[in-house]
Structure 1
Amino acid sequence: MKKGLFLSLLLVLSIVLAACGGSTTGTGTSEKKVLKMATSADYPPFEFIDTANGSDEIIGFDVDLAKALAEKAGYTIEVQDIDFNSLIPALQSNQVDLVLAGMTPTEDRKKSVDFTDIYYTAKHMIVSLEGSSISKIEDLEGKTLGVQLGSIQEEEAEKIAENVDVKIENRNRIPDLVQEMKANRFDAAIIEDTVAKGYFEKDKDLTGFTLADGEEGEAGSAIAFPKGSEYTEQFNKALNEMKENGELEALIVKWFGGE
């Protein structure tokens, strides 16, 4: 009797375990593991809040890319909005699993986090108010140049300052730079060209010029992970698959009009 009850319990237990399947990190019928992605949602069209539709959803090229890559790797994505200069510390403290924020994998950043291959390359622009007569680097002499705190543009601004007497000030977010120009506290700002063009379309008071070859390097964007993260290789494999099958190009056309 006891033996029969014991066998029955074993049978029930085996059925329950079989129904549970694998871990939540698997694919198929198992629940997918949720990865926390951090971004700085002030960088359209890479990442921004969808205020046009009256929501607080974060959308953009980086968000679509993250979701596509996660799907291929067997995960789902939860997006968090964090100031750009706090993104790497969030990775280092394991508050988030990955960062997609138009981030350039500089040698200094590589000391703190791991990066995938480059997924998008852009150039830098000097943005100013219409009628400012700033049309070349030399015109920044004696002016104040704004940059986003913690961004690759900070480094580019320092390079400019080596040859031109310009005062550099930083702010947390791109809209802050624009507002400082409109308040006449900044004469110009250095912003990635794709992002700057989005502002030009919405604000006719802004103008700018792309830094010429030799004045700056191209700003390539990559996905950042904590040092030694198992996800880096998985996402890099998925990224290269998207490059080869045309999916990445399709996203670029969707968000950048094919540029």
Structure 2
Amino acid sequence: MKNWKSLVLLVISALLLSACGDKATTENGAKLVEEGKFVYAASGEFKPFSVTNNDGTMSGFDIEVAEAVAKEMGLEPEQKKFKFAGIVEGVKSGRFDAAVASHTITDERLKEVDFSTPYYYSGPQIFVRPDSSVEKLDDLEGMEIAVSKGSTYAETAQGVTDNIQQYDSDVVALEALNKGKHDAVITDFITGKEAIAAGLNVEARELIGRSEQAIAVSKENEKLLDEINKALETLREDGTLKKISEKYFNTDITSDPEEE
């Protein structure tokens, strides 16, 4: 009798867990961390893409894109601040519905998560102090280069040096360069431009390449990825993405430069 009662309890528990798991979905069957919400992660340390405000909330280009995507999907946006280096793993494990955190699409990341269509285009650039003789990547051979943890820029730096220092954010790396540390920083050209505009005494040198930034979603959530792509298509066609871009950069970084 005792074993029979235990079996019944196990079955009931399994049914309850199954019901809870099925509850957090969209009308089209996409899985959600919380019912009716689009829970997304950003670092809050990548000005002007995501910045932490005095009240602990985040604002910036990525944040407004995430909110627009959530609204288009009929969901309430809920932001989660997380260290950039751990965001992809958080998406993969189901801690977040998605990452709207300026992740560049790479083959390595595609092994862990799926990506939406790009919501903006950019490229890495070398930044140095004004008295530096460095002009291009090859000039940095053997020198000390600073990058942000979890970014693709470390791979670029490894092509010319083993002396790579990593920071929690690109902005902190640029601030260190400004204070006399390291020979150079490799980061997104927009981030460097914003840092210079904010008063850092650094200069831009060689633009190294072109990259596509997109929203990361778990490989187990194909339906959510489809909804995000539909939302981005609408926001691109109605001019919302362009409007958000021009607010932060005075130019449109959401259009593919190769199609212009």
TM-score bracket, shorter-length normalisation: 0.7 to 0.9
**Secondary structure at the residue paired with 2:104?**
coil
Aligned-partner Cα distance in 2 for 1:142–1:210: 17
Superposition RMSD in Å = 2.3
Give 1:108 deviation, angstroms: 1.1
Cα distance, 1:112–1:24 mapped onto 2, change above 3 Å: closer
Aligned-partner Cα distance in 2 for 1:227–1:257: 35
Cα distance, 1:136–1:232 mapped onto 2, change above 3 Å: same
Q: Which of 204, 210, 218 is 1:218 aligned to?
A: 210
Aligned-partner Cα distance in 2 for 1:24–1:110: 24
Aligned sequence identity (%)? 27
**Counterpart in 1 of 2:95?**
95
**Counterpart in 1 of 2:182?**
186
Cα distance, 1:23–1:166 mapped onto 2, change above 3 Å: closer
Return the letter of the residue paired with 1:199: A
Q: Which of 248, 255, 258 is 2:251 aligned to?
A: 258
Alignment of 1:153-192 (within 5 A): 153-159=153-159, 161=160, 165=161, 167-192=163-188
**Counterpart in 1 of 2:7?**
none
Tell me the TM-score normalized by structure 2: 0.79
- Residues 125-182 of structure 1: per-residue CA shift (max 9 Å, x gap): 11122222322223323310111111121222223x2xxx562222221233124324
Contact residue 145 and residue 186 of structure 2 kept, 8 A: yes
**Counterpart in 1 of 2:37?**
34
**Counterpart in 1 of 2:196?**
200
Q: Which of 52, 56, 62 is 1:49 aligned to?
A: 52
Give 1:23 deviation, angstroms: 8.5
**Counterpart in 2 of 1:240?**
233
Return the letter of the residue paired with 1:236: N
**Counterpart in 1 of 2:149?**
149
Return the letter of the residue paired with 1:175: V
Aligned-partner Cα distance in 2 for 1:210–1:136: 5
**Secondary structure at the residue paired with 1:90?**
helix
Return the letter of the residue paired with 1:201: A
**Secondary structure at the residue paired with 1:103?**
strand
Contact residue 140 and residue 166 of structure 1 kept, 8 A: no
- Residues 202-222 of structure 1: per-residue CA shift (max 9 Å, x gap): 1241112242xxxx4311100
**Counterpart in 2 of 1:228?**
220
**Counterpart in 1 of 2:3?**
none
Runs of 4+ in 1 over 3 A off after TM superposition: 22-26, 182-185
Give 1:225 deviation, angstroms: 0.7
Larger Rg: 1
- Residues 84-108 of structure 1: per-residue CA shift (max 9 Å, x gap): 1100111122111110111011111
Range with bigger deviation, 218-227 or 172-181: 172-181
Aligned-partner Cα distance in 2 for 1:23–1:128: 48
**Counterpart in 1 of 2:73?**
73
**Runs of 5+ consecutive residues of structure 1 not aligned to the other structure:** 1-21, 27-31
**Counterpart in 2 of 1:7?**
none
**Runs of 5+ consecutive residues of structure 2 not aligned to the other structure:** 1-22, 28-34, 253-260
Aligned-partner Cα distance in 2 for 1:166–1:133: 20
Range with bigger deviation, 98-107 or 172-181: 172-181
Tell me the TM-score normalized by structure 1: 0.79
- Are 1:124 and 2:124 counterparts? yes
Aligned-partner Cα distance in 2 for 1:170–1:187: 13
